[in-house]
Structure 1
């Protein structure tokens, strides 16, 4: 491995390949910043354009776009409460609150630094830990993936909302939405009401944008604020330095990186789950968990670090086994095949220079992201807040509409966007959290498919769902996460009458 890495270094640092990584980073930042577009979309457009180019040049652009898009999604999430990518949904919770407090630039600093640290550690794990981590991922079957999905749903539902029942209801709504479309086993239509547009279910991008982009636009219109934020509040040096507070953030970065790497290497479990679980773990161990969701920078750090740590780690099973750990990894597999590189053990034997060079490109682009994001993206996009909010509202709505329509070129998606946006606005008025809906939508199909597969393999025996140590551990963790808030609520209600009685005496 060391010889292959040494031979790959000159290829990675060739001037043209460095240029490719810069191009990919800038393109990824743009794609991540545009609501409705994702890194998957950007890579799908990029890969055909790289046909005929040198493999290292093409892979450098892919690595840059992956890391750039990962951070790019945090920019609109923090500045406009519109998550650029599904993984940046958790960033909205505290990032936008920091913007409302006049800490937009500081929040972007925290997001950038946390994302860079997560990406660097993820890249190192990709290079050094591939064999043992791949072996660990092979221990997960349908039963383990089912309980992993349940753990994600339980964690988000119980910790993101201040009210446990409301969090569970929101998660149930997401599961119900995820069930729309054709049954994954027999093709039976479910909740389509004869609409051909619903045969494939609702588009996750449309629902995500509707829940998180339309409600704040309606609030902006309702408030009709005609003044923008002053330039003084957007100067980085006046809002502190995230790097100077590294001791404060280090525990969050370590925990979130470990979570992101573990989730990334599990085939099919990557994506937004790592950022949600990292955010929830940071909230669980925090001294003041009630500050999360109200502008706590630890929430931004945990979400973005977990998101960044998922990137390169999701390629471990993709490169070694041909099993993508996320949707982006699946598209990158297609990019490798376009250039005649077949993923699997033979890839490391036949093209060691290229595969280890690709790993090093992830590490290099992680560091380049700190330069490009810090000097360009953060400063440029931070100036958006200087516009009066009443002017910003139609601009956001315009970009959202164009982005959603470009996904499927469908007017039906625009009607769904409007309907979901209005529902999201009403739910916010009633203090229902929106994030559990998104994760229910994303994890619901996975949980259902793995449950059916596990029951099919076991011949319909439900006892098989607790037949492995990993499954039992995940089930107990899920139960503990759900029961702990309920126990706290019961204990607080039990104390209240006693306190009132003592005061009356």
Structure 2
């Protein structure tokens, strides 16, 4: 009953006219961003964070808008996957396997409608799971001490391989770079570290500048290099011919995919890609020879879309309750909260209950908005794919620069953002992921604080870091999270490549 009362209060926040308007705007912009191949939800949220500061939005309004961008981008990723055989983001990769064959058969409209319905079911199911699980996990997290939190942060870094899907060695290297950047500034003892005498670095590196530079500016540089040409030819979309029987046929698939996706999202490091892959694989095995997976089976479109959208809502659970992002995009959202002086974690459910439950209520409302938006307005999103990037680049660049300048009115921050953009571009060219850098920058200060606190209490005894059963369990899970991707990751990628080839 207590949860229901908080949820009702959350609807009061979410249904405020200005919050509802920004939720609708975020859902629309997110779908547009998701439809553009290569951008993805993390880049989309990073690009639009400066807009929240430029408009002077309150914390709950900014988080509602950017969470809607996140959800919308997960919906939008399916559009280019189905029409161009190019996934808008990595989780939409599995949608290509049956979505594009359906489009080639003249069923593009049906594939887009089925994917939208499956996305709705998966996201709605996961949001309900978030309502039930998040308060319970938040209460459990209140029992954590400094040693347990330090072990939890180690677990977050150890499971990064699932979030990035990259080489584990490069992932660890990127996390180390992020932790190094986090040490810039004046520490708790008043010692200057790596400031080089510059007053601009005394307070450390601003999260927002680093995120916009690493994600948005580096993406612009890659656009200039790789996509400076015109738009891409699209598959022709005929009139929608989808009956009630077709919708009922994909509901069991969508429910199974949504549940699996939610579980994958809750696990730190698993991410939407795993949710999409597992959902598709399980559905293919359940249906067996009765299906035509890989040749345009509607269930092959519904399963991965329900899985990746379920995972996106599930990834908010560890971010809100533990302060540990469950995906790359929630790492960006975590930076937004910290920059607004809000500390994610179990206390957030009591100290900032209006923000937490307002966002959860907005997710429920946003699911219906996205469903209503994605079916009748899909033609608008489709036409966007044919717009040459040279017309989109100036708009994105303007949003990034104006947004960053509006935060501090410092030209130094603009140069710093460009420097991060160039660094991010170079790192992406050698396949070093950016998410671990951001995570290291975000969690580094808290990780150091908890380490200092644990050792101070124990008079410098390092054994205190694994003195409780809970901390030992977290360390063991972290070791497994670090070791398993070295064996399972290459196997999963090999299987996905074989599926694409066949």
**Does the 8 Å contact 2:174/2:436 carry over to 1?**
yes
Count matched residues.
427
| Pairing of 1:469-480 with structure 2 (within 5 A) | 469-480=469-480
1:38 lines up with 2:42 in the alignment: no
Q: Distance in 1 between matches of 2:317 and 2:6?
A: 20
**Does the 8 Å contact 2:176/2:437 carry over to 1?**
yes
The Cα shift of 1:486 comes to: 5.0
2:313 to 265, 288, 308: 308
Q: Distance in 1 between matches of 2:7 and 2:218?
A: 52
Match of 2:482?
A: 482
Q: Distance in 2 between matches of 1:449 and 1:76?
A: 39
Q: Considering only aligned residues, what root-mean-square deviation do their CA atoms show, in Å?
A: 5.4
Sort the Cα spacing of 1:457 and 1:287 in 2 relative to 1 into closer, same or farther, 3 A. farther
| Cα deviation code 1:33-80 (max 9, x no counterpart) | 5744439947993449xxxxxxxxxx8x78954652442565899999
The Cα shift of 1:188 comes to: 2.0
Q: Distance in 2 between matches of 1:477 and 1:7?
A: 32
Sort the Cα spacing of 1:286 and 1:310 in 2 relative to 1 into closer, same or farther, 3 A. closer
Match of 2:259?
A: 254
1:177 to 163, 177, 181: 181
What TM-score comes out, normalization by structure 1 length? 0.64
The Cα shift of 1:193 comes to: 1.0
Sort the Cα spacing of 1:465 and 1:249 in 2 relative to 1 into closer, same or farther, 3 A. farther
1:210 lines up with 2:203 in the alignment: no
The Cα shift of 1:281 comes to: 5.3
Sort the Cα spacing of 1:69 and 1:175 in 2 relative to 1 into closer, same or farther, 3 A. same
**Does the 8 Å contact 1:179/1:445 carry over to 2?**
yes
| Cα deviation code 1:157-193 (max 9, x no counterpart) | 477354332222122111111221221x223221111
| Pairing of 1:5-44 with structure 2 (within 5 A) | 17=15, 22-29=20-27, 35-38=46-49, 41=52
| Pairing of 1:85-124 with structure 2 (within 5 A) | 92-94=89-91, 114=119, 117-118=122-123, 121-123=126-128
Sort the Cα spacing of 1:285 and 1:458 in 2 relative to 1 into closer, same or farther, 3 A. farther
Structure 1: runs of 5 or more not aligned: 49-58, 81-90, 264-273, 289-295, 319-324, 335-341, 349-353, 492-505
Match of 2:468?
A: 468
| Cα deviation code 1:82-104 (max 9, x no counterpart) | xxxxxxxxx954559989x9899
1:397 lines up with 2:402 in the alignment: no
Q: Distance in 2 between matches of 1:235 and 1:152?
A: 46
1:149 lines up with 2:153 in the alignment: yes
Sort the Cα spacing of 1:455 and 1:394 in 2 relative to 1 into closer, same or farther, 3 A. same
The Cα shift of 1:475 comes to: 0.8
Q: Distance in 2 between matches of 1:165 and 1:246?
A: 40
The Cα shift of 1:307 comes to: 3.7
Q: Distance in 2 between matches of 1:286 and 1:449?
A: 39
| Pairing of 1:229-378 with structure 2 (within 5 A) | 229-230=232-233, 232=235, 250=255, 253-258=258-263, 260=265, 276-279=269-272, 282=275, 304-309=309-314, 311=316, 344=350, 361-362=361-362, 364-371=364-371, 373-374=373-374
Match of 2:229?
A: 226
Sort the Cα spacing of 1:397 and 1:111 in 2 relative to 1 into closer, same or farther, 3 A. farther
Q: Distance in 2 between matches of 1:119 and 1:332?
A: 28
